[in-house]
Structure 1
Amino acid sequence: MKKMLSVAGAALLTALAAVFAFGQPAHAAAGFSVSNGRLYDANGTEFVMRGVNHAHTWYPQQTSSFANIKALGANTVRVVLGSGDRWTKNSAADVANVISLCKANRLICVLEVHDTTGYGEDGAATTLARATDYWLSIADVLKGQEKYVIVNIGNEPFGNQGYSAWTTDTSNAIKRLRAGGLTHTIMVDGPNWGQDWSFTMRDNAGTVFNADPQRNTVFSIHMYGVFDTAAEISDYLGRFRSAGLPIVVGEFGFNHSDGNPDEDAIMSYSQANGIGYLGWSWSGNGGGVEYLDMTTGFNPAQLTSWGQRIFNGANGIAATAREASVFAGSSPSPTTSPTPTTSPSPTTSPSPTTPPTTTPPPAGGCTATYTVVNSWQGGFQGEVKVTAGSAAITGWTTKWTFTNGQAVSQSWNATVSNSGSAYTARNVDYNGRLGAGASTSFGFIASWNGTNAVPAVTCAAS
């Protein structure tokens, strides 16, 4: 999270230095690209971010958050990472696993280095140059993931001092990333703790955009107390739209110690104008801003008032998010289930190599469909989809028997037990009730050796 900032006085609005017209850029290695102020996925389909921030670097054990965020409707998650300059460095292997979790849950990953927060004012913060060093050090796990990953160079890279260097430092960081072979869409945050009250980013965005040889940069404004009126919100975002420059609201809240942001205006204007937004934050806030948690203790069944607002309110995530088209036709992955960090899953999520098996339900009963979602040497991720029949059900139990010595080690969204190779999985409190034809899923991690045959699964409704 950010330092509490106090903005003294009101900054005078000024016109943009120039209005820029940008044509279609070269496609970014079959990844995301920018054209005329809009973001497009690798299929050329416009993509509007709807999601939240998740403090992965401080809570690396909370891998279920990816699936839970997806289950509430998000299409994007902005993931907090540490470069090792202020917070513990997230290793290349950990970042690879984060990407795998995003892909398994059909989420676009915005990866950001948080160590730059408030540089120039916070003595513990580091530079954009150091953040760039970090990205280049893990380039091998980023390359090839351009369809799914956006690189946010550094969170809120300047505080309220020294921010006149933002334009040069940001431009140089982009150029170094491109020279290092990264062709992803790049996201850059504004100075002034992300809120750009000085309009440094707004007035110099064209210069920074043109510094990118691929013209594939997106600008991110963080909206807290500086943006407490609808007029300020529409003016700031509207100037980027008029200039043909891509803008997203990379962070915002419903309240803050520096003032009361107008979250209704942020969400309504963004929806009306095709602008992405990512709320702060899923859970785990401290330092007096615990009220910005969307869930209590990372529990998706315990949404706070802020969580209810951003997910289920007007212009909220559930009503407006559209999944990235690059996931169309991919293997059905857990929308309510995580891949634990302890699993040695690869950075890709291949389609199932074996067809699912389905047992027909009795009238008013349920079906169970077993799928191998992902597989690696000695282990695999499985998913069972439960679908109610012609009548609603209040609970379900599935059973199957492994024939090749497979053994489940971890599971989610079901209570799983076994007697030898015979397994039983029962619903948990929040996913037992299904309307006629409705579905839910649970998942698990299991071992295998030599053969991994798909078992028949039965489903009994209650």
Structure 2
Amino acid sequence: MNQPCRDSSLPANDRVNEAQTAHCGITSAAQEAYEPGTRNCSARNSSSLPKEGSISFEDIFKAIDKDKSGAISMCEFRDFAASLLGAKPPVDRPVTPPVDRPPVTPPVDRPVTPPVTPPVDRPVTPPVDRPPITPPVDRPVTPPVDRPPVTPPVDRPVTPPVENPPIDTKGNFSTRNGRIYDPSGREFQPRGFDIDNPQVALQDVDKIVGDWSVNMVRINATQRTKYGQENNYDKELMKKIVDEYTKRGVVVEINDGIGKFANWGSISTGNELKERVEFAKEIAEQFKDNPYVWFATPNETGGAIKANSAQDKAWLNEELAFNEAIRSTGNKNMIVQGDAFWGQGATAGGESAIIRHAAEFKKFGNVIAGQHVYNGSPNAENQLTNAVTKLRDAGFAVIIDEFGYVNQGDGSNPVKTQSGSDAVFKAVEKLGIGALPFRWATSGDDKVYNFTRDIRGKGPRTAWGEQIWRMTHAD
């Protein structure tokens, strides 16, 4: 209902021009109810206000009844009644429903109600349970302990460049922190033995791999009787050997067996060195796509060599030429770098030429240090431990690719080098190095190093053979 003259917006207790205000609001409402568009209250001082008695209470009540929006206030009604009746008290006041309106507005009670709700208990209950639920003290401690063994892959691409800068080892064996890792990234610890005769290596593959559970063998590439037989290397035989072993997941270390009757410890120069280089290129080219084929440098060349001597320079020249020949073919496989002092380096108290020339060897990438151990000293264990530590500090993983002790032929009563052999078995367990005992006996002469009472693994195992068996079958 349109009310341009409504005074109810004023405070209820505003008594200014009380009579006129009352007449204006009520009169306008009543007239609007029965005479729409007629408003006598266009101004507060209008002289056209109805005379006393011209609007009856019935008219007022009808107007109130029509006014659904409550535009006519209790105050207007009361003031208008007083102006009409004068001093006469309005008998009908109790009828006015405004008495019910005050209780309808309970804003006074609302603010009192919220405290009644039990929020006081809510914050109290959860906090009591939360402290025991939060055991983060143990969480950060446990995971970090387990992550390093599982997180080696994170470090693999970062660390190898320190030891093998020129070589991309993806899909190949690699070294890191003195350890060897296979192409899948798992640590690889060589456990097997030497086999002198290639034919026997091929014939006994099931027994060697199946029964003795080896993961690596070291095989002579050829049995030349002298230098100069340039085409004596049997490529087809070696391919068959490599195929049979590597398809079983076994690494084959090809040993340069050139010159079977050459002087032990001699250093190759001139044409002799040229022949070694050509042989290295030939085998490297043949197996460059098979990462399970490793290459051993010339076997046990160089005796007791002093640093910066002519022998030292000649030995280094021989070794570098051999390694360069392998890498010149694009072959990235592992090179087992032999040491001076008849291959024993510092394992028997001598000096390691590998450590002395570490920078020159590491430039080829994927080079590990090969050591031979035939040490009869009671201090053999300490000497071997010190040698392994120094080689690792120089940036090399270590493999003992020859070791053993001489017995009486039937495998009993070792007469020498047992202390060095025992030291190797301990180092395999304590230091995690690889080891290949010498050797799988193929003839009666080999009985002095045999693993069983008879050749080629036949008969009961010797005491020496029992040690090898436990090593190759260890987890």
Check the 8 A contact 1:54/1:79 in 2, yes or no: yes
User: Judging changes above 3 Å, is the alpha-carbon distance between structure 1 residues 30 and 182 closer, same or farther for their aligned structure 2 residues?
Assistant: same
User: Judging changes above 3 Å, is the alpha-carbon distance between structure 1 residues 207 and 140 closer, same or farther for their aligned structure 2 residues?
Assistant: closer
Q: Which has the larger radius of gyration?
A: 2
User: Judging changes above 3 Å, is the alpha-carbon distance between structure 1 residues 103 and 21 closer, same or farther for their aligned structure 2 residues?
Assistant: closer
Check the 8 A contact 2:222/2:234 in 1, yes or no: no
Check the 8 A contact 1:120/1:163 in 2, yes or no: no
1:307-326 to 2 correspondences below 5 Å: 307-312=465-470, 316-320=471-475
Task: Give the equivalent residue in structure 2 for 1:111.
Answer: 254
Once the two structures are superposed, what CA deviation does each residue of 1:283-322 show, in whole Å capped at 9, x if it has no partner? 12666x632122322134543332122112xxx22114xx
Match among 30, 34, 38 for residue 175 of structure 2: 34
Once residues 171 and 266 of structure 1 are traced to their aligned partners in structure 2, the CA distance between those partners, rounded to angstroms, is 28
Once residues 341 and 213 of structure 2 are traced to their aligned partners in structure 1, the CA distance between those partners, rounded to angstroms, is 31
Is 1:134 aligned with 2:279? yes
Q: 183-192 or 160-169: which moved more?
A: 160-169
Once the two structures are superposed, what CA deviation does each residue of 1:376-433 show, in whole Å capped at 9, x if it has no partner? xxxxxxxxxxxxxxxxxxxxxxxxxxxxxxxxxxxxxxxxxxxxxxxxxxxxxxxxxx
Counterpart AA for 1:149: V
Once the two structures are superposed, what CA deviation does each residue of 1:64-93 show, in whole Å capped at 9, x if it has no partner? 322212121211111122274638833111
Task: Give the equivalent residue in structure 2 for 1:241.
Answer: 392
Counterpart AA for 1:209: F
Per the TM alignment, residue 42 of structure 1 is displaced from its structure 2 partner at its CA by 1.1
User: Judging changes above 3 Å, is the alpha-carbon distance between structure 1 residues 260 and 23 closer, same or farther for their aligned structure 2 residues?
Assistant: closer
Task: Give the equivalent residue in structure 2 for 1:69.
Answer: 208
Name the SS for the 1:150 alignment partner.
Answer: strand
Name the SS for the 1:279 alignment partner.
Answer: coil
User: Judging changes above 3 Å, is the alpha-carbon distance between structure 1 residues 226 and 233 closer, same or farther for their aligned structure 2 residues?
Assistant: same
Once residues 260 and 359 of structure 2 are traced to their aligned partners in structure 1, the CA distance between those partners, rounded to angstroms, is 22
Once residues 226 and 174 of structure 1 are traced to their aligned partners in structure 2, the CA distance between those partners, rounded to angstroms, is 32
1:392-431 to 2 correspondences below 5 Å: none
Match among 332, 356, 359 for residue 204 of structure 1: 356
Check the 8 A contact 1:95/1:141 in 2, yes or no: no
Structure 2 length normalisation: TM-score?
0.55
Q: How many equivalent pairs are there?
A: 292
Once residues 388 and 176 of structure 2 are traced to their aligned partners in structure 1, the CA distance between those partners, rounded to angstroms, is 17
Name the SS for the 2:320 alignment partner.
Answer: helix
Counterpart AA for 1:201: A
Task: Give the equivalent residue in structure 2 for 1:53.
Answer: 194
Q: Which has the higher contact order (CA 8 A, sep 6+)?
A: 1
Once residues 24 and 210 of structure 1 are traced to their aligned partners in structure 2, the CA distance between those partners, rounded to angstroms, is 6
Once residues 266 and 395 of structure 2 are traced to their aligned partners in structure 1, the CA distance between those partners, rounded to angstroms, is 36
Check the 8 A contact 2:172/2:333 in 1, yes or no: yes
Once the two structures are superposed, what CA deviation does each residue of 1:307-351 show, in whole Å capped at 9, x if it has no partner? 122112xxx22114xxxxxxxxxxxxxxxxxxxxxxxxxxxxxxx
Match among 200, 214, 223 for residue 373 of structure 2: 223
Per the TM alignment, residue 24 of structure 1 is displaced from its structure 2 partner at its CA by 6.2
Q: 294-303 or 30-39: which moved more?
A: 294-303
Check the 8 A contact 2:345/2:353 in 1, yes or no: yes
User: Judging changes above 3 Å, is the alpha-carbon distance between structure 1 residues 211 and 92 closer, same or farther for their aligned structure 2 residues?
Assistant: same
Per the TM alignment, residue 27 of structure 1 is displaced from its structure 2 partner at its CA by 2.9
Check the 8 A contact 1:33/1:41 in 2, yes or no: yes
Name the SS for the 2:436 alignment partner.
Answer: strand
**What is the alpha-carbon root mean square deviation over aligned residues?**
3.2
Counterpart AA for 1:79: I
Per the TM alignment, residue 196 of structure 1 is displaced from its structure 2 partner at its CA by 2.1
More strand by share: 1
Once residues 134 and 91 of structure 1 are traced to their aligned partners in structure 2, the CA distance between those partners, rounded to angstroms, is 11
Counterpart AA for 2:317: T
Check the 8 A contact 1:66/1:101 in 2, yes or no: yes
Name the SS for the 1:303 alignment partner.
Answer: coil
Q: 196-205 or 272-281: which moved more?
A: 196-205
Check the 8 A contact 1:67/1:105 in 2, yes or no: no
Once residues 51 and 208 of structure 1 are traced to their aligned partners in structure 2, the CA distance between those partners, rounded to angstroms, is 29
Task: Give the equivalent residue in structure 2 for 1:95.
Answer: 238
The gaps in structure 1 that reach 5 residues or longer are 1-19, 321-462
Taking every aligned residue pair, what percent have the same amino acid on both sides?
20
Structure 1 length normalisation: TM-score?
0.56
Once the two structures are superposed, what CA deviation does each residue of 1:100-134 show, in whole Å capped at 9, x if it has no partner? 12124331111111226897656798855533311
Once the two structures are superposed, what CA deviation does each residue of 1:28-58 show, in whole Å capped at 9, x if it has no partner? 362212233222211122211011011124x
Check the 8 A contact 1:157/1:193 in 2, yes or no: yes
Counterpart AA for 1:73: S
Counterpart AA for 2:217: V
Task: Give the equivalent residue in structure 1 for 2:153.
Answer: none
Check the 8 A contact 1:49/1:276 in 2, yes or no: yes
User: Judging changes above 3 Å, is the alpha-carbon distance between structure 1 residues 271 and 239 closer, same or farther for their aligned structure 2 residues?
Assistant: same
User: Judging changes above 3 Å, is the alpha-carbon distance between structure 1 residues 201 and 261 closer, same or farther for their aligned structure 2 residues?
Assistant: farther
Name the SS for the 1:39 alignment partner.
Answer: strand
Task: Give the equivalent residue in structure 1 for 2:403.
Answer: 252
Task: Give the equivalent residue in structure 1 for 2:457.
Answer: 299
Once residues 392 and 421 of structure 2 are traced to their aligned partners in structure 1, the CA distance between those partners, rounded to angstroms, is 19
Task: Give the equivalent residue in structure 1 for 2:302.
Answer: 158
Once residues 464 and 326 of structure 2 are traced to their aligned partners in structure 1, the CA distance between those partners, rounded to angstroms, is 36
User: Judging changes above 3 Å, is the alpha-carbon distance between structure 1 residues 276 and 205 closer, same or farther for their aligned structure 2 residues?
Assistant: farther
Once residues 226 and 129 of structure 1 are traced to their aligned partners in structure 2, the CA distance between those partners, rounded to angstroms, is 36
Once residues 21 and 85 of structure 1 are traced to their aligned partners in structure 2, the CA distance between those partners, rounded to angstroms, is 41
Name the SS for the 1:98 alignment partner.
Answer: helix
Match among 86, 89, 92 for residue 226 of structure 2: 86
Check the 8 A contact 2:375/2:421 in 1, yes or no: no
1:261-410 to 2 correspondences below 5 Å: 261-284=419-442, 290-295=447-452, 296-312=454-470, 316-320=471-475
